[in-house]
């Protein structure tokens, strides 16, 4: 083909690809515009995960009737004029390409009324072309509706995921902006149901409660900003609260959410020796520095930044977080669990009080929360087991054992689940999960949602010993299974895992690998009602003693009930 200049339409469709990757990118850009417009109240509505319909409504400054067409032209922005302005950008947008890009690949209706204008304007575009313009009544502010995303780019549309996945991405952006702008009220509805709402009362802790729930929201520690230098604020988890991956570390630079490996590492570094290995903190950290010290124009999506002095920012974040932890949480409870747990409730109470004495600066409420996270004798979440002697089995369900500290009743299924779970995740980390190839590959028919979920997480599944591949739209071909479930019907295992993934999109359900591992192990574990030989029980107890968290099953339920010597004596009135 001879070389030729692309039509404006084709060029803008290609350019749109950089800005609009999926429905959540539309939400992100529109919400940024609302924030830049000085809105106090931002409402986002979606249908079908945003694939069909997205509307962002704000009470910001609006667009003057004379400028509305301009707003949809490429490289049109009210936020900068010269290259020099780039050096001190204080708005989220500045590239003047979001509205154009969105309009190029969807049907957009923008209704806006600038403050001071008597009536609003409606502009409608399809695939970037204006198809309607008229006066329209509305309160000051702007509402942008985006329908049929990628209706004219089938190749892109094919790459969109299930409604649920797209909703999850949208939730991610909304919660990030709610954290970055606690004074603004954000409301998100999916298919007419409110999915998230921030209070808009300028308190970040209240936003965190809305995002992560009351328990975490109340437990996180407020970062003590340094007296001088780079301003670092936010909230971080106490060492007793941690997660299996770094996905709960959220960073903002000058009100912009950023993905920055080094700054994430700075936060992790601050917890050095305070967390068990393989565990990560939860943190929301805001860095503020003069705009001229950050280059925000690195990527069209604007989620990466370059610092003039990256080392200084790293040190500032690391120091502020570390300082907060040392100051507020002097006892690393989880990192160094006592070798023997106090046997009686009284001793337990005493330990709590001693701890309270160590932290006189904590309020009663904070202490209560920290106390709640202290292991309790009957449901100790951590701590190695002492060596146990197996006595027998009760009700073909529980193992009776004796140790230096009294009597133990162990749930054979829950305990086995715990053992398999830790083993499987450890094997995965070393990339040596045992996988068993089926004699003949077996096709498994699934619901479309389930099939697409499994496809989405193919990599994780492979790392856990599955070998499956799509075989038509709703069928998966199973070639191999994790060895521990090799005896079980592949259809059952896959259905289990898919159902778990489906249920597990709440932010606190654990990582995908944990969710999958948990359900594989649940299937593989010895059942209640199964007779166990003495040697089998001994083997199980030995393995349980090796576990990092032997006292709870991976779902968090206790694996055992412990009756201490003191308790027994008390019960018998000795
Ligand atoms: P940018 O945000 O980079 O300037 P956009 O394409 O996102 O580029 O928006 C173009 C212009 O349209 C903005 O500079 C702003 O003047 C105007 N605009 C867009 N959305 C809104 C809104 N919600 N309220 C007021 N003005 C808006
Ligand atoms: Mg913008």
Nearest residue (CA) to ligand 1, atom 16: 78
Identify the pLDDT of residue 231: 94
Ligand nearest to the CA of 77: 1
24 pLDDT exceeds 90? yes
Lowest mean pLDDT segment, chosen from 72-81, 326-335, 473-482:
326-335
Residues within 5 Å of ion ligand 2, judged at the Cβ atom: 33, 93, 98
Q: Enumerate the β-bridge partners of residue 552.
A: 558
Which span out of 30-44, 204-218, 324-338 was modeled with the highest average pLDDT? 30-44
**Cα-to-centroid distance, 75 and ligand 1 (Å):** 11
Q: How far, in Å, are 346, 351, 361 from residue 219 at the CA level?
A: 25, 20, 15
Mean of all residue pLDDT scores within the chain: 86
Nearest residue (CA) to ligand 1, atom 2: 93
Instruction: Return the higher-pLDDT residue of 81 and 433.
Output: 433
Nearest residue (CA) to ligand 1, atom 17: 71
Mutational pocket test of ligand 1: of 93, 100, 297, the residue with most ligand atoms within 8 Å of the beta carbon: 93
How large is the average pLDDT for residues 48-60?
Answer: 97
Confidence of residue 374 (pLDDT cuts 50, 70, 90): very low
Identify the pLDDT of residue 229: 84
Mutational pocket test of ligand 1: of 64, 71, 89, the residue with most ligand atoms within 8 Å of the beta carbon: 71
Q: Is 516 helix (H, G, I), strand (E, B) or coil?
A: helix
**Cα-to-centroid distance, 76 and ligand 1 (Å):** 8
**Cα-to-centroid distance, 392 and ligand 1 (Å):** 72
Burial class (CB in 10 A: 0-12, 13-18, 19+), 319: middle
How large is the average pLDDT for residues 215-230?
Answer: 88
**Cα-to-centroid distance, 382 and ligand 2 (Å):** 48
Would you state the structure tokens that stand for residue 453, as one six-digit string? 């979920």
CA–CA distance, 171 with 506 (Å, rounded to integer) = 11
**Cα-to-centroid distance, 96 and ligand 1 (Å):** 7
Identify the pLDDT of residue 350: 52
| Nearest atom within ligand 1 for CA of residue 92 | 2
**Cα-to-centroid distance, 77 and ligand 1 (Å):** 6
Ligand nearest to the CA of 28: 2
Confidence of residue 383 (pLDDT cuts 50, 70, 90): low
Pocket of ligand 1 (CB under 6 A): 29, 33-34, 37, 58, 60-63, 71, 76-79, 93-100, 142
Return the DSSP state at 540: H
Would you state the structure tokens that stand for residue 514, as one six-digit string? 């944990």
What confidence tens digit (pLDDT) does each residue in 336-358 have?
333 344 444 454 455 445 444 44
What confidence tens digit (pLDDT) does each residue in 485-517 have?
988 899 989 988 888 887 764 444 567 888 889
**Cα-to-centroid distance, 72 and ligand 1 (Å):** 9
How large is the average pLDDT for residues 367-388?
Answer: 49
Mutational pocket test of ligand 1: of 60, 99, 111, 177, the residue with most ligand atoms within 8 Å of the beta carbon: 99
CA–CA distance, 51 with 489 (Å, rounded to integer) = 36
**Cα-to-centroid distance, 298 and ligand 2 (Å):** 15
DSSP per-residue codes, 44-100: EEEEGGGTSEEEEEE-S----GGGHHHHTSTT--SS--SGGGGGG--SS--SS-HHH
Instruction: Return the higher-pLDDT residue of 173 and 429.
Output: 173
Confidence of residue 72 (pLDDT cuts 50, 70, 90): very high
CA–CA distance, 481 with 486 (Å, rounded to integer) = 6
Identify the pLDDT of residue 382: 45
Q: Which residues contact 426 (CB under 8 A, 6 or more apart)?
A: none
Ligand nearest to the CA of 71: 1
Confidence of residue 328 (pLDDT cuts 50, 70, 90): confident
């Amino acid at each position: 083909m001879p070389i030729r200049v692309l039509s404006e339409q084709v060029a803008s469709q290609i350019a749109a690809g950089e800005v609009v990757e999926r429905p959540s990118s539309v939400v992100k850009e529109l919400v940024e515009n609302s924030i830049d417009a000085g809105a106090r109240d931002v409402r986002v509505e979606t249908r079908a995960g945003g694939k069909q319909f997205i509307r962002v409504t704000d009470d910001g400054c609006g667009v003057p009737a004379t400028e509305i067409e301009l707003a949809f032209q490429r490289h049109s922005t009210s936020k900068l004029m010269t290259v020099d302005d780039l050096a001190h950008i204080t708005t989220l947008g500045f590239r003047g390409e979001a509205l154009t890009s969105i309009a190029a690949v969807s049907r957009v209706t923008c209704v806006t009324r600038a403050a001071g204008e008597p009536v609003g304007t409606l502009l409608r575009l399809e695939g970037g072309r204006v198809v309607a313009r008229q006066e329209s009544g509305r309160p000051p502010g702007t509402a942008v509706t985006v329908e049929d995303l990628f209706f004219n780019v089938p190749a892109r549309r094919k790459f969109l995921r299930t409604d649920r996945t797209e909703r999850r991405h949208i939730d991610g952006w909304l919660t990030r902006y709610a954290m970055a702008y606690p004074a603004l009220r954000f409301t998100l509805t999916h298919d007419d149901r409110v999915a998230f709402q921030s209070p808009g009362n300028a308190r970040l802790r209240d936003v965190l409660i809305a995002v992560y729930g009351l328990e975490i929201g109340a437990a996180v520690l407020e970062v003590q900003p340094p007296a001088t230098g780079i301003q670092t604020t936010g909230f971080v988890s106490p060492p007793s609260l941690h997660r299996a991956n770094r996905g709960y570390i959220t960073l903002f630079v000058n009100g912009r959410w950023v993905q920055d490996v080094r700054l994430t590492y700075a936060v992790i570094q601050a917890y050095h020796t305070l967390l068990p290995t393989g565990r990560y903190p939860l943190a929301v950290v805001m860095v503020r520095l003069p705009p001229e010290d950050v280059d925000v124009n690195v990527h069209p999506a604007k989620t990466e930044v370059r610092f003039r002095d990256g080392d200084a920012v790293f040190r500032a974040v690391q120091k502020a977080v570390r300082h907060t932890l040392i100051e507020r949480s002097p006892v690393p409870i989880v990192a160094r669990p006592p070798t023997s747990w106090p046997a009686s409730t009284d001793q337990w109470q005493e330990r709590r009080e001693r701890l309270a004495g160590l932290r006189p600066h904590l309020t009663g409420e904070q202490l209560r929360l920290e106390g709640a996270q202290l292991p309790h004798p009957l449901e100790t979440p951590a701590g190695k087991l002492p060596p146990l002697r197996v006595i027998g089995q009760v009700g073909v369900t529980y193992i009776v054992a004796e140790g230096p500290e009294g009597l133990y009743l162990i749930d054979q299924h829950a305990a086995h689940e715990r053992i398999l779970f830790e083993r499987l995740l450890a094997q995965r980390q070393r990339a040596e999960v045992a996988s068993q190839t089926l004699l003949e590959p077996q096709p498994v028919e699934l619901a479309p949602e389930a099939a697409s979920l499994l496809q989405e997480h193919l990599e994780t599944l492979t790392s856990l010993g599955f070998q499956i591949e799509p075989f038509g739209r709703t069928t998966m071909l199973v070639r191999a299974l994790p060895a521990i479930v090799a005896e079980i019907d592949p259809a059952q295992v896959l259905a289990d895992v898919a159902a778990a993934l489906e249920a597990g999109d709440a932010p606190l359900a654990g990582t995908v690998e944990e969710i999958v591992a948990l359900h594989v192990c649940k299937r593989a574990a010895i059942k209640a009602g199964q007779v166990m030989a003495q040697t089998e029980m001994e083997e199980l107890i030995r393995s349980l003693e090796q576990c990092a968290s032997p006292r709870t099953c991976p779902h968090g339920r206790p694996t055992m009930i412990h009756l201490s010597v003191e308790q027994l004596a008390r019960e018998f009135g000795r």
